[in-house]
Structure 1
């Protein structure tokens, strides 16, 4: 736990100090403890917000990479389709295998990007 955490021992120390010092210092003790609680809440809130911003930034980068990979795959797939179909008869199985490979690469990348997003 970090320094800004408020633990049970802190509450017990506050109550012990109140018993020792008496009720005339109660307001100062409570204000001091409330300030520590507010700092702990602010620190935790900032940590969660930073993590969420990082997750959004990472997810956006993965989506952009996936889009670029899809566009590049189409750009590569067109010549892979045209050349064998024009150059040889019966090249359909080779073209099918090439497109299955392209689809597998895209699926693997999408799975990796989406898997990382789900694990967070």
Structure 2
């Protein structure tokens, strides 16, 4: 078990204990507080991973070679998309669970898994990059008018 996992487990235990002591009227505030701590933990982990990935890319560029890409989109793009959906899953899960209990939570996670599955299967990173390349071309063409 990671030290961060142990910290979150302690936070969860403290939140549950406080819920028993304070009663149901504070349940929403306690859940929001705990989810905020989870989100901070996820954000710090993502930041650390992104910094590591950027450092690796800078090392590759410094060596003069290109990073290897798999099936048209880089690992960093796939990882970033997955992390964004996991960060968004926290408040969406809370909303689904509060409004519709277990069925709401299940529908929320089915949507999250579905979006990630479609992204993984179709490799939307390639299409987004093509769109960005074509928009750059159109900007180059329109810059002729500015001369």
For normalisation by structure 2, the TM-score amounts to 0.40
Larger RCO: Structure 1 or Structure 2 (Cα < 8 Å, ≥ 6 residues apart)? 1
